[in-house]
């Protein structure tokens, strides 16, 4: 496909729709991680999920992350990959990791120092990674509890959360397992958006 | 239900489900973003600015590329035209030698060749230009293309 044809496709895209979908994607993806700011809307380097979405669009336009419509016909999917990759990069960034707090201990003399070679080989988590993993588990438990409380009494939403807990998150799969029409899954998603919006601080993972 | 080996954690599944905009209308997403404190108007403005600038720059870059390609093609055509001209020169010289352009032209050509040990295409072109200047080809009405 010629550059001129790709340009025509990019110009014809519905960018208002794309930026809303992409920002929503970035907002929920950043909530998956525990950030040092304690707030998923405040990322390392002062970035926000909106910035991530806009940066992804910019990267496609300036050629940093070229879009190949033949290989990847869905432009939004391509942009969502860029956002995911940038979130991952931010999460692994030195700026983020160097500011993670270390566990406090009263008896410093008894700290068990892990074998550095085993840590490097990934067999044992470093104290820093162990702390991050624990904080993430706690955050996940807290969020799950808050969400379950918020949907109490709504059998459909309760069942939807059970599906998610089981690792089933694709609407088509959920529809298949529950026997619901796919449109019902989408309606429940909208309902869950409203419930989640009311939770507000539950997604702020500051201890 | 899911096999334990491929099972995602709750947070990952929840985030994947909520971040997938499939089945949600633009208007619903707009409302959802406003509910989350996003300034949708500013967001829309910013993306349109990126698109406008990006489109302008890419179009310019693409036009530059197209111009370069065209220049390359024209260069090829030009070199072929010269080759054709060289062929034409040879034909015309043959006609002069055969007396096709008259006595004046033939005499001039003979004098020209006497002065040279080897003759290049460039020399032949010069000879034809000289004959044109001397009106020896034009006068006969056969030298003009």
Tell me which of B142 and B105 has the higher pLDDT: B105
Q: Which residue has the tokens 């989350």?
A: B36
What's the pLDDT score for residue B136?
Answer: 63
pLDDT digits (tens, 9 = 90+) for B118-144: 666 677 777 777 777 766 655 554 444
**What does the alpha-carbon distance between residue A112 and residue A152 come to, in Å, rounded to a whole number?**
44
Using CB atoms, pick whichever of A3, A32, A186 lies closest to residue B11.
A32
What integer best gives the mean pLDDT of chain B?
Answer: 76
- Half-sphere exposure for A196 (CA within 13 Å, toward CB): 23
Give the domain ranges of chain A.
3-97, 123-201
Q: Which residue has the tokens 């496709």?
A: A9
**What does the alpha-carbon distance between residue A95 and residue A44 come to, in Å, rounded to a whole number?**
7
What are the CA-CA distances from residue B40 to residues A24, A53, A86, B44, B109 (Å)?
11, 12, 22, 6, 83
pLDDT digits (tens, 9 = 90+) for A136-184: 788 888 888 989 998 999 999 999 999 999 999 999 999 999 999 999 9
**How many Cβ atoms are within 10 Å of B87's Cβ, its own excluded?**
11
The percent of residues above 70 in pLDDT, for chain A, comes to 81
With 0-12 CB in 10 A as exposed, 13-18 as middle and 19+ as buried, what is B91? Answer: exposed
Chain B nearest C-alpha distance from A101 (Å): 22
With 0-12 CB in 10 A as exposed, 13-18 as middle and 19+ as buried, what is A175? Answer: middle
Q: Say yes or no to pLDDT of A61 above 70.
A: yes
Chain A nearest C-alpha distance from B68 (Å): 14
pTM: 0.68
pLDDT digits (tens, 9 = 90+) for B32-71: 899 888 999 999 999 999 999 999 988 888 777 767 766 7
Contact (Cβ atoms closer than 8 angstroms) between residue B23 and residue A171? yes
**Which residue in A has a C-alpha nearest to residue B9's C-alpha?**
A167
Least confident of A3-7, A166-170, B112-116: B112-116
Give A-chain residues touching B7 at CB under 8 angstroms: 166-167
Give A-chain residues touching B57 at CB under 8 angstroms: 61-62
Give A-chain residues touching B64 at CB under 8 angstroms: none
Average pLDDT of the segment spanning B99-121: 71
Could you tell me if the ipTM is greater than 0.90? no
The interaxial angle of helices B103-114 and B40-97, nearest 10 deg, is 100
Verify whether the Cβ–Cβ distance A140 to B28 is below 8 Å. Answer: no
Average pLDDT of the segment spanning B67-87: 64
Verify whether the Cβ–Cβ distance A192 to B18 is below 8 Å. Answer: yes
How many contacts (CB atoms, under 8 Å) link A and B?
156
Contact (Cβ atoms closer than 8 angstroms) between residue B29 and residue A24? yes
Verify whether the Cβ–Cβ distance B15 to A4 is below 8 Å. Answer: no
Q: Which residue has the tokens 């419509």?
A: A69
Chain A nearest C-alpha distance from B120 (Å): 44
What's the pLDDT score for residue B64?
Answer: 79
pLDDT digits (tens, 9 = 90+) for A79-123: 999 999 999 999 887 656 655 443 333 344 444 445 556 555 656
Chain B nearest C-alpha distance from A162 (Å): 9
**Which residue in A has a C-alpha nearest to residue B25's C-alpha?**
A17
């Amino acid at each position: 496909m010629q550059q001129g044809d790709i340009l025509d496709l990019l110009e014809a895209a519905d960018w208002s729709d794309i930026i809303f979908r992409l920002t929503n994607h970035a907002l929920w993806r950043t909530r998956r991680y525990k950030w040092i700011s304690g707030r998923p809307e405040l990322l390392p380097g002062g970035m926000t999920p909106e910035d991530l979405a806009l940066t992804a669009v910019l990267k496609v336009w300036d050629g940093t992350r070229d879009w190949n419509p033949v290989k990847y016909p869905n432009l939004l999917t391509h942009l969502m990959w860029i956002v995911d990759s940038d979130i991952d990069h931010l999460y692994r960034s030195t700026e983020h990791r160097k500011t993670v707090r270390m566990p406090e201990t009263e008896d410093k003399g008894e700290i068990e120092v892990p074998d550095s070679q085993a840590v490097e080989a990934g067999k044992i988590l470093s104290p820093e990674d162990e702390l991050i993993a624990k904080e993430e588990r706690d955050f996940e438990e807290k969020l799950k509890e808050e969400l379950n409380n918020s949907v109490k009494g709504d059998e459909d939403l309760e069942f939807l959360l059970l599906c998610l807990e089981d690792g089933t998150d694709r609407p088509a799969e959920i529809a298949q397992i529950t026997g619901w029409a796919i449109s019902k899954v989408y309606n429940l998603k909208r309902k869950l958006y409203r419930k989640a919006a009311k939770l507000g601080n539950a997604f702020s993972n500051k201890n | 239900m899911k096999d334990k080996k491929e099972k995602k954690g709750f947070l990952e599944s929840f985030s994947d489900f909520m971040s997938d905009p499939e089945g949600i209308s633009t208007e619903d997403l707009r409302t959802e973003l406003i509910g989350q404190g996003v300034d949708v108007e500013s967001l829309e403005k910013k993306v349109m600015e990126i698109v406008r600038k990006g489109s302008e720059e890419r179009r310019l870059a693409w036009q530059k590329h197209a111009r370069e390609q065209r220049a390359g093609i024209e260069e090829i055509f030009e070199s072929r035209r010269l080759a054709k001209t060289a062929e034409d020169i040879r034909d015309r010289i043959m006609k002069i030698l055969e007396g096709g352009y008259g006595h004046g032209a033939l005499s001039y050509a003979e004098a020209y060749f006497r002065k040279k040990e080897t003759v290049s295409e460039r020399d032949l072109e010069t000879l034809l230009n000289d004959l044109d200047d001397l009106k020896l080809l034009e006068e006969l009405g056969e030298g003009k293309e």
